[in-house]
Amino acid sequence: MNEEPGRERVAPARRWPREAPARQPRPPLRRRRGGAPIGFRVGGRRARRGAARRGEGGPAGSAGGRRGAMKLTRQKHAKKYLAFYRHNFGFRGPYRLLLDGTFCQAALRGRIQLREQLPRYLMDDTQLCTTRCVLKELESLGKELYGAKLIAQRFQVQSCSHFKNPVGGSECLLSMIEAGNPHHYFVATQDQSVSAKVKKQPGVPLLFIIQNTVVLDKPSPNSVAFVKTTASNQLVSAHQKQIIEQLKEERGLGKDTEPKKKKRKKVGGPNPLSCLKKKKKVRDPSQPSAPKNKKKRNRIRNREKGKTLAVQPAKQTTEA
């Protein structure tokens, strides 16, 4: 290019490479007792990494520490509630869990592995179950609950009484726990109306998901009242009746089909021993016979001397 006469050429400023300023060494960080450095957020990334290296839940007050404490508390409550149902209603492992579509959808959103977390939380083997009515309800709702339907299809399908005429999932679950929950089902649902109806029936544990964690609800007031009446010998639980009937059948103490006939008392005569004649006493000839006319000894009482003795002290008193 031709430059204009009388105009000086100016070199363009170089923007790169730029000289970086010299880095100064950082002062050593002071640390708290829990391991988190001062000036950093408690429970931050560095604190959690340090706690993971040490094999701890995190410093006191950190997110890791709070999470570990909450997990221990949740496990402690679950252990207490399970002991209540085992001792009073006869629950035994493996536990049977009835899940509906709302619970499966909440587990999908929270990315909860039900087959892994539920046995660990309940501290025993579990059988995840559902019903045909629940599966048909999820199919009818379409693509919105397609993921929940895929989860529910992996579970064991329990037979219900609505084979020909299917009903809603909530109604089907409630029918499975009628008559005192004889099959010892746990009910897992997020529906508040179903939860309220489940709590009215004694002896039915309730599971729900809150903050992406599975929680076992505490025993309902109806269950506690039922146990109190049973303990006071006012009522015998259905489980105890079932055990008593089984023991009777095993030992052959069941009810006889033919009632036993009562034996009538026969009219009897008098006692034969009382009808015998009295035997006369036979006198031994060797013994001497007692005299027939034996004189009786007449005792003569000295009444006059007794009277004089009784009268003398009285005379002395009068003379004195």
- For 78-112, how does the pLDDT look when each residue is reduced to its tens digit (9 = 90+)? 999 999 999 999 999 899 999 999 999 999 999 99
Residue 135 has pLDDT above 80, yes or no: yes
Query: Is residue 289 in a domain?
Result: no
Query: Is residue 254 in a domain?
Result: no
pLDDT reported for residue 87: 92
The Cβ of residue 224 has, within 10 Å, a number of other Cβ atoms equal to 13
**What mean pLDDT do residues 214-232 have?**
90
Query: Is residue 204 in a domain?
Result: yes
**What mean pLDDT do residues 119-136 have?**
94
Residue 53 has pLDDT above 60, yes or no: no
Q: Give the residue, 167 or 46, on which the prediction is more confident.
A: 167
Residue 59 has pLDDT above 50, yes or no: no
Torsions phi, psi for 214 (to 5 deg)? -85, 135
Q: Give the residue, 49 or 313, on which the prediction is more confident.
A: 49
> Tokens in use for 23?
């880095």
The angle at the Cα of 313, spanning 308 to 317, to the nearest 5 degrees, equals 140
**What mean pLDDT do residues 121-143 have?**
92
Range of the domain at 158: 72-224
Query: Is residue 114 in a domain?
Result: yes
* CATH number, domain containing residue 178: 3.40.50.1010
**What mean pLDDT do residues 179-200 have?**
93
Confidence of residue 268 (pLDDT cuts 50, 70, 90): confident
pLDDT reported for residue 317: 47
Confidence of residue 114 (pLDDT cuts 50, 70, 90): very high
Pairing between strand 126-131 and 95-99?
A: parallel
Q: Where are the beta strands (DSSP E) in the chain?
A: 95-99, 126-131, 156-158, 185-188, 206-210, 213-216
Query: What is the domain count for the chain?
Result: 1
Question: What is the Cα Rg of the chain in Å?
Answer: 50
Residue 296 has pLDDT above 90, yes or no: no
Name the maximum alpha-carbon separation found in the chain: 199
pLDDT reported for residue 58: 46
Full-prediction pTM beyond 0.85? Answer: no
Confidence of residue 177 (pLDDT cuts 50, 70, 90): very high
pLDDT reported for residue 146: 92
Residue 148 has pLDDT above 70, yes or no: yes
> Tokens in use for 282?
């036979």
Task: Report the C-alpha gap between 47 and 84 in whole angstroms.
Answer: 40
Using CA atoms in the order 247, 249, 251, 256, what is the torsion angle rounded to 10 degrees?
130
Query: Is residue 293 in a domain?
Result: no
CB 202 within 8 A of CB 115: no
CB 149 within 8 A of CB 135: yes
CB 199 within 8 A of CB 220: yes
Peptide bond into 291 cis (omega under 30): no
Torsions phi, psi for 243 (to 5 deg)? -65, -40
Query: Is residue 183 in a domain?
Result: yes
Query: Is residue 288 in a domain?
Result: no
Q: Give the residue, 34 or 230, on which the prediction is more confident.
A: 230
288: Cα separation from own chain's centroid: 94
Task: Report the C-alpha gap between 71 and 64 in whole angstroms.
Answer: 11
Query: Is residue 123 in a domain?
Result: yes
> Tokens in use for 138?
């999820």
pLDDT reported for residue 283: 72
Task: Report the C-alpha gap between 215 and 212 in whole angstroms.
Answer: 10
